[in-house]
Each structure stands twice: as C-alpha cells, then as structure tokens.
Amino acid sequence: MAKPVVAIVGRPNVGKSTLFNRMAGIRISIVKSEPGITRDRIYADVEWQEEKFILIDTGGIETDSDDIIVSKIRQQAELAIEEADLLLFVVDGRSGVTNLDEEIAGYLRKANKKIILVINKVDDFTLADEITWQFFSLGFEEIIPLSAEHGKNIGDLLEKIIENLPETVEEETDEALNIAIVGKPNVGKSSLVNHIAGQERAIVSDIPGTTRDAIDTLVEVNGVKYNLIDTAGLRRKARIKDSVEYYSVIRTIRAIDRADAVLMMIDAREGITAQDKRIVGYAHENGKAIVLAVNKWDLIEKDSKTMEEYKKDIYDELKFLTYAPVTFISALTGQRVPEALELLEYVVDQNSLRIKTGLLNEVLEEAMLLREPPGYRGKKLKLLYATQVGIKPPTFLLFVNDPELMHFSYERYLENALRDAFGFVGTSIRIILKKRN
C-alpha cells in the first residue's frame, strides 16, 4: 500500500519547517527567521496511532515575484499540492490574515483537496479562540491553532490529519508480484521493462530523467505474473534543474511502498552512488525484498574474477544489505534478465517465510551454546523463548531476562544464525527483545 501524502504549504516565514520538524520528530529542514530558506521539498515518514503517511515540507509561496528562485520554489509547492492527499495550510497567528494568505487560500480551494488550516505561533492559548476567529474569513472548516516551536496542540493536529487521510486499500493486480524498478537516471530501467514486456511500454531515451512518473506494466513470464513499476530516475540535488524531475523522488518512494520486491539497478560503469544508497536504504528500512542488478555488464571489460570483485565492492558500500543477492545483467541484450526475474520471485517468498516456533528455538539455543551470550557485571543474557510474530519482513520476538544485555554484535550473530539455518535471502530480519522474568 502506498502511504498517503500530506504537504505543508503557505507563505514564507510562517513556521512550516518548524512544524515539519516537530511532526517528524527530528530536525531535518533548516529553520531560520528569514523567508525562502526551504527551496526543495523535504519529506519524512510519520506514524501516529499506527497510521503512517509521508509528510512534505515546501518552500514559501509568493505570487507577486518574477524572481527565478522564487518561481522555482512556487513550482515545487504547486507540484506538492498536486500530489498530496491532504494539505496543511499554515498561517501566522501573530500577524493575522494577510493579502498573500488570501491569495494562497483562493488557489488552494481550486486544487480540490482536503485542507486543514493550521494557525501557527499561538503561544498564549487563552487567546486561541480570538485568534482563530480572525482566520474564519479564509473559508476553511478544519482549523487547528498551535505552536510548532513549543509543541502545543501538535497531537490534536495529528489526530485531525488521521481523520482526513484517505483509506489505504490493498491494490490487487491479479495476484501479480509488484516489482518496483528503481535507480538513478539513465541506468536502464525503462530498457529493462521494455525487454521483459517485449514491446515499447515505457519511453526509452539516452536523456536522463525521461520517465517522470511511475508506469505499471503487467507481464507474464514462464507462468509468473509480474507488475513492473518503472519509477522515475533519481539524481543528486546539485544536478536537479527541473522541479518535475525532483518531485519524482516522492513517487518513487510511493512505488516502493506498494511493491512486493525492489529491483535496485546499478550502473556497472559508475558503481554505487550516494543516491543509490539513499533509495535502497528506504527499501531496506521498510522491510522490502531486494535484488541488486548491475546493469550494462556487457560494457565492462572482465576476467574470471571481475564479477566476484565487483560484488565485494557493492557489499563494502552497502554493508547493511549483504543479504541481498546481486545479479549482473544487460537490459539491452537481455543477458541474465531471466535470472533477475527468478531471483525476484524467490526473495518475495523469502520475505514471507514463516518458521515453526519449536524449530526456531532449537536454532537459537544451539547458536547461543556455540557462542556464549554477552554479560555485564556478572549477569549474562538468557534467551527464554522465541517466536515469529510477523512477515514482510520476517520479525521475531525474543523473550530474554534483560534486553539491556543484548549487544548489537550479538544480535547480528543471532540474525546470521537464522540466515544460515533458514535462508532469508533478499530480506531484512527484525528482532524485537522483550523482558520476561
């Protein structure tokens, strides 16, 4: 399921980034008391009462300026408005309603989106009703006064957001495997889809960033149905000139959200880039099955050791992803493309693998006998009981005498023991510790 998108919009210097940071729980956006600081949209995953959504911070909207940078900021905000399921229209409770607020309100009403009017900088809540009355003239029913800086009324805003989010419905594609094909621009994503589909379903071009939206292609190969989601290419911020192209990051993330597996394409000539780490890191953190595909392998001079050396370099760069299988393909010639599809089907199964409780405990107990658990001040970690509590990714609950005694290196050792016993190829493993006397 793709997470809903909530965009924070408004004129400059009303506290949008402060609100974003408060809701995200971490300081991501730069906060300064001068307008125009936030130029590109910044996003974060937010969870409240078991509901998840993507939150986007945007730059301040100015309607009466021809400045190029101001124009670009406005374009970014407009694209966020277009993509969002819900808008948080932020105004300044200290300055009251301004002409620019009224202009933005008129524009937002035309967007035909659900809107919550957020009155920020309300420091004295004895005046909240009086301040709120001033903003009724903007014509919005849902109004929340708050102070983002001091965290006042943030919980009420989050509850109001959850009430107004659209229902997330599991998408059905005739039992097909949803595969998000991701990677930086010009890595060959569209060429791969076209090769598998056997026809031009996506535009192929040597110009990076041709695909700006996610395109679904339903194919059947050897009796297995795949829904291939060709996502827009991702590139470094410093090279972004087209705001539409940068906005594709959010759409790529939404494609990963609804995927059963992610095929991360890497350019064989360039190796792992920072942008590759960023997007595959998102897939890893969200427990997706992952296959790494090194494309354009036909263009590389190689000997009998090249493939293994290249694989080692990938794992050195992606130390958190050593569980993901690597395949070397050519989307142009079709080299090893069938192998990549088989790997995708396999890692999806591994991502949903369930282990019987008795067998799970036998494996973990044996692992702890082979390597003594850590201790502190004469007290040693003891595993009392283990059970699997979830899939996608496989999640295990371990009841122990004291979770504080678990060192991260020993947890990694137990994870490796599970992999040695059961596989879990292409999927992360989550271990939850719980104290039990």
| Per-residue pLDDT tens over the stretch 98-151 | 999 998 898 888 888 899 999 999 988 888 899 999 999 999 999 999 999 999
Tokens of 161: 């957001």
Q: What is the pLDDT of residues 18-66, one digit of tens each?
A: 999 888 875 444 444 444 433 344 667 788 888 888 888 877 777 666 6
Q: What is the mean pLDDT of residues 290-312?
A: 94
Question: Is 171 inside any structural domain?
Answer: no
**pLDDT value, residue 241:** 45
Question: Is 296 inside any structural domain?
Answer: yes
**pLDDT value, residue 200:** 57
The answer on 291 and 145 residing in a single domain is no
Contacts of 314 (CB under 8 A, 6+ apart): 266, 271, 272, 292, 294, 326
Amino acid type, 14: V
- Cα–Cα distance, 398 to 434 (Å, whole number): 6
Question: Is 247 inside any structural domain?
Answer: yes
pTM of the predicted protein model: 0.68
Higher pLDDT, 164 or 39: 164
Higher pLDDT, 158 or 211: 158
Q: What is the mean pLDDT of residues 76-84?
A: 73
140: left (phi over 0), alpha (psi -120 to 50) or beta: beta
Q: What is the DSSP string of 128-168?
A: HHHHHHHGGGG--S-EEE-BTTTTBTHHHHHHHHHHHSPPP
- Cα–Cα distance, 296 to 212 (Å, whole number): 22
The answer on 246 and 301 residing in a single domain is yes
Q: H helices of 258-376, where?
A: 274-285, 306-317, 337-351, 357-370
The answer on 146 and 75 residing in a single domain is yes
Confidence of residue 201 (pLDDT cuts 50, 70, 90): low
Backbone angles phi and psi of 306, in degrees to 5: -60, -45
- Cα–Cα distance, 213 to 219 (Å, whole number): 19
Is the pLDDT assigned to residue 235 strictly greater than 90? no
Question: Is 335 inside any structural domain?
Answer: yes
Question: Is 170 inside any structural domain?
Answer: no
Q: Which of 306, 305, 340, 347 shows the shortest CA–CA distance to 324?
A: 347
Question: Is 429 inside any structural domain?
Answer: yes
Q: Which of 334, 351, 368 is the last residue of a domain?
A: 351
Contacts of 242 (CB under 8 A, 6+ apart): 209
Q: Which of 311, 327, 351 is the last residue of a domain?
A: 351
Cβ atoms of 276 and 184 within 8 Å: the answer is: yes
Peptide bond into 393 cis (omega under 30): yes
In the chain, the number of structural domains is 3
The answer on 45 and 97 residing in a single domain is yes
Please report, to the nearest 10 degrees, the dihedral formed by the alpha carbons of residues 411, 416, 421, 422 taken in order: 90
Domain containing 37: what range? 5-164
End-to-end CA distance of the chain: 38
Cβ atoms of 11 and 60 within 8 Å: the answer is: yes
Q: Find the CATH number of the domain harbouring 202.
A: 3.40.50.300
**pLDDT value, residue 25:** 77
Q: Which residue has the tokens 């509901």?
A: 51
Cβ atoms of 361 and 396 within 8 Å: the answer is: no
Question: Is 139 inside any structural domain?
Answer: yes
